[in-house]
Amino acid sequence: MVKLRTKFTLLIGLAVLLVTSAVVVRGIMIYRNSIMKRYNETAYQTAEAVSGYFSPQELQEYVQAAVAYVDGDLSEEQREEITGSARYMELTALLDNMRKSMDANDINICVFDIDVLSHYDKQAHQEKRWKPLIYVMDSYYDEALRMQLGDNGSIFPEYCGEILKSYESGVHSNDYFVADGQFGYTTTALYPVVLDGQTAAFVAVEIPMATLQADTLHFVARIALSAGVTALLLLLLILWFLIRTMISPIKLVSQEAEDFVKNNNAISTRLQEIRTHDEIQTLSESILKLENDINSYIDNLTKVTAEKERIGAELNIATQIQADMLPSIFPPFPDREEFVIYATMMPAKEVGGDFFDFFMVDDRHLAMVMADVSGKGVPAALFMVIGKTLLKDHTVPDKDLGEVFMEVNELLCESNKEGLFITAFEAVLDIATGELRFVNAGHELPFIKKKDGAYEAYKVKAGFVLAGMEGIRYKAGSMMLEPGDKLFLYTDGVPEATNGAQELYGMERLSQTLNRCGDLPPEALLPAVKEAVDTFVGDAPQFDDITMLSLEYVKKMEI
């Protein structure tokens, strides 16, 4: 069999395009480097000429004055006396004339604080506090922006190493100090002035490379045109070859596959006519086999689809059954004016593991349960039914809630082969006195809002989860509610709701939302919290059940 790789050897001509591109890139680099070298040499020649303007003695004096000003040893009046002297102004005028004749942006005399230059501080640089450069004389093209004797300036951090080498050796760097700024590409020459065998100062000359971009673009246009014509001819040749040896056979395979669908899965015969002796022939034979396999699998697929529809219908029924098991009629106790209660549950799947419940234990005690079964789906839902039933059956008047949880825990452990567990919080409110007794089995902290206060997470000691281990003891606690106080219970699906950036909604956002909506009644508070969670989550899928309960204690029951 002739492999496709043999035919692809005819496509080596494509390498010509890659080689041409590489030549273009390399040519551009060489061309740019030659121009940059020319500008750089011109800048250093200018800097060397400028260094001859100064006598060693007067340069030394100016450098010492600049450093003294930075150190605070030279007053502003003394600086003005130096910069206003006839010689200083004469030298500045010479720098101006040289700058204008070279069409440069700037020519300046400077020194470097070697200690600052040797210890680059990135943060100080970002805050514009890292300034190793000290100006001695400046001939910037904009006189209003010129630096004065002793002013500090910054440099590009990547130049530090070369400047230090130049300072130590007294020889200017061979590298290019090139920047792309407000003047386009510029090159800067830093020419060391050596006195008594030591670098005393630097002459800096910044020259714009005005023709660099224009010449480069012209060069790129010419070479790209030549390369493009060559590549186009090569591509046309390759396209003809591909159409003849590959595209036409593949198109036939595609057409036959489409006809298979249109003709009610009729087996193709034209695929057997493809004799290219390569992978295309293998592809046509595979598709022919696939058509036969599809006809064999389609009956099984029909059966599986019917089964999935049956399961889906049963899940819909299970969802409705689960919803019917939870209190759903509000207000649930129309004749009770002492409190207002409202609760919701949004399962992550068809059926969920969260559940809530509330019921009158007797005429003056209201029980509230908020729980979360580990896991999702049908197993968690079934375990939820068991847990909900046991909690309600064992919550009886005058019975300690700790004992209720201990009894329920033992019963759940007996029939827990799947290793599920329940986090649960139960509270019983004496609507006559306002006493709220509660017990927590590894569940989220409740939020309490006093009448004139804010929602705050109430610190409740959490016991071990239900169905996690036999023999666990649970301790109940209590607190007093006054008319106007509110209680908010929820499952971890609220604070652990996650957005597309994998950020959690969190307790802080929940607290902010509750306090923003703190004056709302329970039936309005829960939708507001759910809307806030949905806004935060955005388009991210819901991974956990979201269940909430809100109670407002309106007034005490008359005994």
Of 185 and 137, the one with more pLDDT: 137
pLDDT tens-digit map of 205-218: 988 876 556 666 77
Q: Which residue, of 155, 182, 208, is where some domain finishes? A: 208
Torsion sign, CA atoms 168, 170, 176, 178: positive
Q: Which residue, of 163, 193, 208, is where some domain finishes? A: 208
pLDDT tens-digit map of 480-539: 999 999 999 999 999 999 999 999 999 999 999 999 999 999 999 999 999 999 999 999
Residues in Cβ contact with 546 at an 8 Å cutoff, skipping those fewer than 6 apart: 345, 346, 348, 354, 491, 493, 494, 497, 530, 533
Would you state the pLDDT for residue 510?
Answer: 96
Given a cut of 90, whether residue 278 has pLDDT beyond it is: no
Would you state the pLDDT for residue 541?
Answer: 87
Do 507 and 358 lie in one domain? The reply is: yes
Given a cut of 80, whether residue 227 has pLDDT beyond it is: no
- When mean pLDDT is compared over 30-34, 42-46, 151-155, 238-242, the highest value belongs to 151-155
Of 117 and 283, the one with more pLDDT: 117
Confidence category of residue 63, pLDDT binned at 50, 70, 90? very high
Would you state the pLDDT for residue 165?
Answer: 93
Domain membership flag for residue 289: no
Strands 486-490 and 447-449: antiparallel
- When mean pLDDT is compared over 48-52, 135-139, 187-191, the highest value belongs to 135-139
Which pTM value belongs to this model?
0.48
For 481-499, letters b (16+ CB in 10 Å) and e give: beeebbbbbbbbbbbebbe
pLDDT tens-digit map of 373-383: 987 777 788 88
Confidence category of residue 456, pLDDT binned at 50, 70, 90? very high
pLDDT tens-digit map of 322-344: 666 788 899 999 999 999 999 99
Q: Which residue, of 156, 179, 208, is where some domain finishes? A: 208
Compute the mean pLDDT over every residue in the chain, rounded to the nearest whole number: 86
CB burial of residue 55 (10 Å; 0-12, 13-18, 19+): exposed
Of 463 and 21, the one with more pLDDT: 463
Q: By mean pLDDT, which of 74-78, 244-248, 344-348, 506-510 is the weakest?
A: 244-248
Given a cut of 70, whether residue 312 has pLDDT beyond it is: no
d(CA 67, CA 201): 11
Would you state the pLDDT for residue 295?
Answer: 78
Do 369 and 516 lie in one domain? The reply is: yes
**Domain residue limits at 533:** 329-553
Domain membership flag for residue 240: no
Given a cut of 60, whether residue 2 has pLDDT beyond it is: no
Segment 291-300 shows an average pLDDT of: 80
Domain membership flag for residue 177: yes
Segment 268-284 shows an average pLDDT of: 75
Would you state the pLDDT for residue 284?
Answer: 81
Would you state the pLDDT for residue 258?
Answer: 79
Show the CA angle centred on residue 491, arms to residues 355 and 410, nearest 5°: 60
Confidence category of residue 463, pLDDT binned at 50, 70, 90? very high
Would you state the pLDDT for residue 323?
Answer: 63
Could you give the percent of the chain with pLDDT greater than 90? Answer: 51
Would you state the pLDDT for residue 95?
Answer: 93
Given a cut of 90, whether residue 243 has pLDDT beyond it is: no
Would you state the pLDDT for residue 442?
Answer: 94
Closest Cα partner for 160 from 125, 132, 195?
132
Q: By mean pLDDT, which of 146-160, 172-186, 190-204 is the weakest?
A: 172-186
Tell me phi and psi for residue 380, to 5 degrees.
-65, -35
Confidence category of residue 125, pLDDT binned at 50, 70, 90? confident
Q: By mean pLDDT, which of 49-53, 158-162, 283-287 is the weakest?
A: 283-287
Task: Indicate the angle between helix axes 76-83 and 86-102, nearest 10 degrees.
Answer: 60
Q: Which residue has the tokens 């005393």?
A: 200
Domain membership flag for residue 153: yes
Domain membership flag for residue 28: no
Domain membership flag for residue 238: no
User: What is the CA 185 to chain-centroid distance, rounded?
Assistant: 34
Closest Cα partner for 325 from 371, 287, 279?
371
Given a cut of 80, whether residue 33 has pLDDT beyond it is: no
Domain membership flag for residue 435: yes
Domain count of the fold of the chain: 2
Confirm if 14 and 194 have CB atoms less than 8 A apart: no
CB burial of residue 292 (10 Å; 0-12, 13-18, 19+): exposed
Do 202 and 336 lie in one domain? The reply is: no
What is the CATH classification number for the domain harbouring 67? 3.30.450
Domain membership flag for residue 481: yes
Do 197 and 343 lie in one domain? The reply is: no
pLDDT tens-digit map of 386-439: 899 999 999 999 999 999 999 999 999 987 888 899 999 999 999 999 999 999
Would you state the pLDDT for residue 3?
Answer: 58
Confidence category of residue 234, pLDDT binned at 50, 70, 90? confident
Segment 85-99 shows an average pLDDT of: 93
Given a cut of 90, whether residue 6 has pLDDT beyond it is: no
Would you state the pLDDT for residue 296?
Answer: 81
Strand partners, 379: none
What is the CATH classification number for the domain harbouring 419? 3.60.40.10
